[in-house]
Structures are given as structure tokens and as C-alpha cells.
Amino acid sequence: MAVQYLTDAKGKKVAVVVPLEEWETLQARLRDLTYEELTPAGAAASDAAWQDFLAGNTKPLAQVIKEQLHDRED
């Protein structure tokens, strides 16, 4: 991806310029992942999960993996 970074006087990156064709491709990919693809129940579950994340209600990755492996039926 041929992007350009804009910096402030101290050299800190403050913006990025993405070629229009690449931007449109990214936007199309993003649309494929939006709520439009979810059922109302799926969208509600996603919103609830996001709110939990924002509230700090998360689990360590090791615990999630252990739980997922425990729930397997193979």
C-alpha cells in the first residue's frame, strides 16, 4: 500500500494519505464486515461484547483458549 504520512513540526505522525483506489478497496472490504451482514441478534451480541470490552470485562487469552479447548467435542 503506497501511503504517505503527514507529520507535525516535531516529526510525530498526525495523518495519513491513502491513494483513492486503495481507500475505496478498504471501504468495500469494511462494508463486507459491517452490521448489515449480521442478524439483529448477532448485532446485539456484538454490541454487548463491545460494551463489555470497553468496561474492562475481559479475560486473559490463556483462559479463553482453555475454555474453548474444554468445550470441544472432538
Beta bridge partners of 5: 16
Query: Model-level pTM?
Result: 0.39
> Domain spans of the chain?
4-70
If you search the block for the grid coordinates 503527514, which residue do you land on?
6
Q: Does an H or E element contain 51, and which?
A: helix 40-54
pLDDT tens for 13-70 read 999 999 999 999 888 888 777 656 677 888 888 889 989 989 988 888 888 888 888 8
CB 35: neighbour CB atoms within 10 A? 12
pLDDT tens for 2-15 read 889 999 999 999 99
